[in-house]
Amino acid sequence: MAQLGVDDFKAKLTGGGARANLYQVTLGFPAYVTADVEGASFMVKSAQLPGSTIGVIPVMFRGRQLQVAGDRTFEPWSITVINDTNFDVRNSFEEWMNGINQHNANTGLTAPSDYMADMEVAQLDKDGTKVKTYNIRGCFPTVLGPIEVSYEQEGTIEEFTVELQVTYWESDKTT
């Protein structure tokens, strides 16, 4: 077996490697939500490139277990948002969730197309070019995280998390 050296590794590390801090998120909101999409997208402090899982179906045959591919599932997608003093992004997510299920009436929209929206997260190269794009389809928020406030939090900017359910995703390389 050939022994690979540092120079071989450097030659294979295209573009110096993908950087976790070079990304762009574009949030989408349903039509009934008042939101500044560009401003909201800019305030996303962190997100993930989405994952998925293909389930396994065990099939028994003569005392042996044959594993066959099952259905694909998509994990919830989480973002962390920097809060501004107007609470613009937080207000948009609160309005979105209230449309799905009102605080005081336990009623809301029933047609998924009315309360779902699409999101996008892209990996950027060092020059800002999108090198990989994920379109996350049919999202809606299910968890709006609390904002911690404290006298001991001097000098910190508020943040909150949002967990969104995902119908499916596709990338520019796999559709």
In a domain, 39, yes or no: yes
Domain that residue 167 falls in: 21-171
**How confident is the model at residue 49, as a pLDDT?**
93
Model confidence at 74, in pLDDT bands (50, 70, 90)?
A: very high
Whether the per-residue pLDDT at 2 is higher than 80: the answer is no
Q: What is the 3-state secondary structure (H, E, C) of 3-20?
A: CCCHHHHHHHCHHHCCCC
In a domain, 6, yes or no: no
The CATH code of the domain that includes 126 is 2.30.110
**Which ranges of 13-62 does DSSP label H, i.e. alpha helix?**
37-42
Residue pair 104/12 in contact (Cβ under 8 Å)? The answer is no
In a domain, 15, yes or no: no
In a domain, 93, yes or no: yes
Nearest to 23 by CA among 138, 137, 175, 131: 131
**Which ranges of 33-105 does DSSP label H, i.e. alpha helix?**
37-42, 88-100
